[in-house]
Amino acid sequence: MTNCCIFGPPGAGKGTQCERIVEEFGMVHLSTGNILRAAVEADNDLGRKAKEYMDRGELVPSDLINAIVLEKLKQPDVQSKGWLLDGYPRTAGQAQLLKDNGLLPDVFLCLDVPREVLEERVTGRRLDPETGNVYHIKYRPAPREIQDRLVQRPDDTAEKLHVRLNAYEDNLASVRPFFVQSECVVDGSKNMSEVTDMVLDAIAQHHRAHAQAEV
Ligand code: ADP
Ligand code: AMP
């Protein structure tokens, strides 16, 4: 069993790669962005508190999300299948919380994608509200019959990407040192299947090393 975090700027391809990682290794995918968007959609207490930050492209206060993450990581299916955290940790405080709870990942995948590639990724992203599937107008077009129902995230504009990227870059240097032992940097600017090959290989290497250590 391998526990992973996937880290990278907005639009780097984290959610896209998580689909393939889960297919291959079967851990439970926990995306804090998806959890928060579902709360906004449900218009519950969390969603009402988080929405204003998300709409501005800012991080939500950690106390809104920390307890939820810890609670989800304790669930029996997550304990038995392993976890794949997407979009968490994003700050040194969140990384510290994982560390304090003995929840450091086996593999900390960093998708490295330059700023100039991210704008096209983010502004071309489309979501299918019925299935939650993520498409891209150019790189992953949706089937024609569902194209009319696709939606754009309110924070997927060039202007808000700028705010989100600044938040990412402000935290980068303080988050990465927590994961030096397990960090694996992947060139996320390649096409989807090339990135998938590198990501799956990084996790498989951990599996092999772990299996050898047990012999
Ligand atoms: P993140 O979860 O990191 O914000 P996503 O996985 O949602 O990013 O990807 C952002 C957008 O870019 C989506 O529309 C997705 O289809 C597209 N995408 C993801 N990976 C690639 C890639 N390697 N090449 C081109 N487009 C990609
Ligand atoms: P994402 O889907 O990962 O791009 O996240 C969408 C938005 O949800 C972010 O811009 C933040 O407003 C919020 N969010 C997601 N994860 C976190 C987190 N770990 N800490 C704070 N805010 C978060």
Do residues 192 and 19 touch, judged by C-beta distance below 8 A? no
Ligand 1: distance of its center to the CA of 58 in Å? 20
User: Residues, the chain, total?
Assistant: 215
Catalytic residue among 72, 81, 140, 153: 153
Q: Quote the pTM value.
A: 0.96
Strand partners, 30: 85
One-letter identity of residue 52: E
Q: How many CB atoms lie within 10 A of CB 56?
A: 13
* Predicted pLDDT of residue 207: 80
Q: How many CB atoms lie within 10 A of CB 50?
A: 21
Catalytic residue among 37, 125, 126, 160: 125
* Predicted pLDDT of residue 215: 64
* Predicted pLDDT of residue 209: 81
Among 151, 161, 58, which Cα is nearest to 113's? 161
140 has catalytic annotation = no
Closest Cα to atom 5 of ligand 1? 13
The rounded distance, in Å, linking the Cα atoms of 31 and 86 is: 5
* Ligand 1 atom with minimal separation from the 10 CA: 4
* Predicted pLDDT of residue 213: 74
10 Cβ below 6 A of ligand 1: yes
pLDDT in tens, the chain (215 residues): 899 999 999 999 999 999 999 999 999 999 999 999 999 999 999 999 999 999 999 999 999 999 999 999 999 999 999 999 999 999 999 999 999 999 999 999 999 999 999 999 999 999 999 999 999 999 999 999 999 999 999 999 999 999 999 999 999 999 999 999 999 999 999 999 999 999 999 999 988 887 777 76
